Amino acid sequence: MRIDRLLAMTVLLLSRGRVSAAELAERFEVSTKTIYRDMETLNQAGIPIVAHQGSTGGFEIMQQYTIHRQFLTLDEITSVVAAVKGIGTVLDDRAMGNLLGKVQSMLSKQDIRETEQKGARFVFDFNPWGQGVGARAKFDMLRQAAEESRLIQFRYSSINGKETERVAEPLTLILKGPLWYLYGYCRLREEFRVFRLTRMQDIRVISETVPRRPAPELKEQFRWEPQWSGGKAQHVVIHFSPKVRYRVLDVFDPTSVEILKDGSLKVSCPYLIDDWFYGLMLSFGADARIEQPAEAAAEIRRRAEKITALYTESGHTDVLVHPVQ
């Protein structure tokens, strides 16, 4: 319907700024002539559309214009409320409380009663399981340092357990899956790096402020870059018993998992083989067997035998450990 397209165009221009007629035509699957007619319709409806000519031209809405409450449905507003509440689970900030109050004020008493009767459509809790008050304090400290452009100093543990002293210029906090990361410029490595918050210890904010360094643009879907791991992925083939199916699907990309006739699973994918990988494999115990590469299977056997020897030397001979074959 045309009215839906016009509303979608208004929201897009408000969020994106200037957009070319060609891009609008492609996005909404209409001709550029239709786009020009739609822009004229929006202008006549009181929405101040400005047209710019030239190679960087396009349409945009005047800066002073904002969208009104009536353009949002009740479900859309309650979704925003849920998202703001989720941010409040990790961010101890009065501004978030104020924002929540402003968004909730867009709901009438009837809307509130209706949402209470329906129950919550979404619940966002950005605090990972097992994280206490300390995790929230760490998050707040890093957020404030990033906002004030202050240097931070900390000890960082790599996936191989090696600790290094770092000084970094914090830029952005990123939630990826259940984990929080800090994106910033590492002065030790002299490049932008991603740090996992759980591996950052003894964080100290340095009083010195620094100019905000231009950073590579983060993509909408933040992806892990192979160079961050400091190694090259190898092709692995792993066989899992049916008992750990749920864990396999939690850890590996579903497209790399093949479910066999007997219910067991076969995983075939590129993976960085390091201490993290070996720890993951050992956590599956006898329910996982590495088929490829052979050297990874041999290393798992060596580590399993070392664990067996440790318990044997301690006199725990009643503990039976079966190394992975």
Residue 286 CB partners (closer than 8 Å, separation 6+): 241, 322, 324
pLDDT at 15: 65
Instruction: Give the chain's radius of gyration (CA, Å).
Output: 27
Task: Say if pTM beats, i.e. exceeds, 0.85.
Answer: no
**Torsion of the alpha carbons at 108, 113, 119 and 122, rounded to the nearest 10:** 10
How far apart are alpha carbons 273 and 270 in whole angstroms?
Answer: 9
Give the closest residue to 182 by CA, choosing from 213, 211, 139: 139
User: What pLDDT score does 155 carry?
Assistant: 92
Beta-bridge partner residues of 196: 181
Taking only the tens place, the pLDDT of each residue in 108-151 is 677 777 777 776 677 777 766 655 556 777 888 898 899 899 99
Q: Mind listing the pLDDT tens digit for each residue in 225-248?
A: 555 555 678 999 999 999 988 888
CA distances from 261 to 172, 241, 242, 265, 266 (A): 46, 12, 11, 9, 11
- What average pLDDT does the chain have? 81
Q: DSSP letter at 188?
A: T
How does pLDDT run across 202-220, given as a tens digit for each residue?
A: 999 998 888 988 887 766 5
User: Which residue has better confidence, 181 or 323?
Assistant: 181
Cis status of the peptide bond prior to 242, with omega within 30 of 0:
no
Q: Point out which residues pair with 152 in neighbouring strands.
A: 168, 205
Does the pLDDT of residue 324 top 50, yes or no?
no
